């Protein structure tokens, strides 16, 4: 034990691992050595430093192992009804893949992908610049293979209008016709009066990003944003949504760019199995607006005090996100992702504390 401590240069477990993987130089930087406490292989901010350095000295070509700064100006297309929505093309998988390879500059990045990953990005409709950015972020923060696979199961875009029509039941005992907007696109559906908004969006519109967790309003996996407010779609009748403006996880990305909250969840590894993630992200996006509105929570110190926009403490974020359960226990990373988007400053994943300003800005 003591002998190991004396040997120089000393590598943390992570550095050693990354070195084996050919990701970083085996010589730790002076900065890294200086901040290293007394070994123990603790997972602290070291990991961030290592990744940053790896990117700074282009490791194994590509030069794309970058964590792009997130555009914090862009928060939520769904919050202002007057703002133009990104309207998903509602193209079937075949049509989407028809656009594949549009940009030859993608070739380098794509070479490094597994077939699963390729399929994922195709289905997500992530092309060109975003595709490289997505890859860079995934690689840099270690988006798990499992998460990739889970996301790959989902189609990013729903059914075409023809497909929606084809799925209309022949006869309904208590049919209700509902016209609503989903991710900016006007939809008209004839639904059974019992159908929830969640089921309508998943089964009838083919947007399966929103998840059915408990179906009883206890988990938050089905969270959608309706008329700018986060709600539980499993406890909302589709019939009650006439004229409503619904945003689901599929509607958050703007064009080819991930919503900052989506990017932050990936960067901070704010999930393991990913099942609660669409609800978590929709909930968090709506929370950003609630903070801007200065809305109260149970842990607000003095509700009488009139405030404008508020800065949420860690305690406030936890309280205000309590309607979204995560059985994997990714809470610290979820809170860190939300705090990063909320404050615009890079946060430490473990403590959710603000660490030195955007380490990856050096990249």
The distance of closest approach from Cβ of residue 168 to other proteins in the complex, given in angstroms and rounded to an integer, is 17
What is the smallest separation between the CB atom of 81 and other proteins, expressed in angstroms?
16
Q: Name residues contacting other proteins, limited to 180-199 (CB under 8 A).
A: 192-194, 196
Q: Does 240 bind other proteins (CB under 8 A)?
A: yes
Q: How far is the CB of 191 from other proteins (least distance, A)?
A: 10
Residue 239 binds to other proteins (criterion: CB under 8 A): yes
Select from 20, 167, 229, 327 the one that contacts other proteins (CB under 8 A). 229
Q: Which CB atom, from 71 or from 315, has the smaller least distance to other proteins? A: 315
Q: CA 192 to CA 162: how far, in whole Å?
A: 19
Smallest distance, other proteins to C-beta of residue 220, A: 6
Smallest distance from other proteins to CB 240, Å: 6
Surface-to-core class of residue 2, CB atoms within 10 Å of its CB (0-12 exposed, 13-18 middle, 19+ buried) = exposed
242 binds other proteins (CB under 8 A): yes
Q: How many residues bind other proteins (CB under 8 A)?
A: 42
Nearer to other proteins, 94 or 243 (CB): 243
Residue 114, interface with other proteins (CB under 8 A)? Answer: no
Site string for other proteins, 289-328 (x = CB under 8 A): -x--x-xxxx-x-xxx-x-----------xxx-xxx----
Residue 257 engages other proteins in binding (rule: CB under 8 A): no
- The residues that touch other proteins, with contacts defined as CB under 8 A, are 173-174, 176, 192-194, 196, 215-217, 220, 223, 229-232, 235-237, 239-240, 242, 283, 286-287, 290, 293, 295-298, 300, 302-304, 306, 318-320, 322-324
């Amino acid at each position: 034990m003591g002998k190991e401590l004396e040997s120089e240069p000393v590598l943390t477990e992570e550095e050693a691992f990354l070195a084996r993987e050919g990701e970083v130089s085996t010589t730790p930087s002076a900065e890294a050595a200086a901040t290293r406490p007394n070994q123990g292989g603790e997972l602290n901010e070291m990991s961030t430093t290592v990744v940053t350095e790896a990117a700074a000295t282009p490791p194994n070509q590509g030069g794309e192992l970058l964590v792009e700064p997130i555009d914090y100006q862009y928060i939520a297309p769904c919050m202002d009804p007057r703002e133009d929505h990104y309207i998903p093309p509602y193209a079937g998988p075949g049509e989407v893949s028809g656009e594949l390879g549009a940009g030859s500059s993608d070739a380098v990045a794509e070479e490094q992908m597994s077939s699963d990953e390729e399929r994922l990005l195709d289905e997500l409709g992530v092309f060109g610049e975003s595709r490289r950015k997505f890859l860079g972020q995934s690689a840099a923060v270690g988006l798990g293979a499992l998460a990739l696979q889970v996301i790959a199961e989902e189609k990013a875009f729903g059914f075409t209008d023809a497909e929606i029509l084809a799925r209309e039941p022949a006869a309904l005992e208590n049919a209700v016709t509902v016209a609503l907007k989903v991710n900016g696109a006007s939809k008209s559906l004839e639904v059974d009066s019992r159908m929830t908004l969640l089921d309508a969006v998943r089964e009838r519109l083919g947007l399966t990003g929103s998840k059915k967790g408990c179906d009883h309003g206890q988990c938050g996996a089905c969270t959608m944003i309706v008329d700018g407010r986060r709600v539980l779609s499993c406890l909302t009748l589709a019939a009650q949504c006439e004229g409503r403006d619904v945003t689901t996880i599929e509607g958050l990305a703007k064009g080819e760019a991930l919503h900052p909250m989506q990017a932050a969840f990936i960067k901070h590894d704010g999930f393991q199995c990913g099942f609660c993630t669409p609800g978590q992200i929709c909930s968090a996006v709506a929370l950003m607006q609630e903070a801007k509105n200065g809305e109260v929570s149970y842990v607000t110190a003095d509700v009488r005090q009139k405030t404008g926009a508020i800065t949420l403490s860690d305690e406030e974020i936890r309280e205000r996100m309590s309607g979204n359960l995560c059985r994997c226990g990714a809470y610290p990373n979820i809170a860190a992702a939300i705090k990063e988007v909320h404050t615009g400053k890079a946060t430490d994943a473990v403590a959710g504390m603000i660490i030195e300003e955007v380490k990856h800005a050096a990249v």
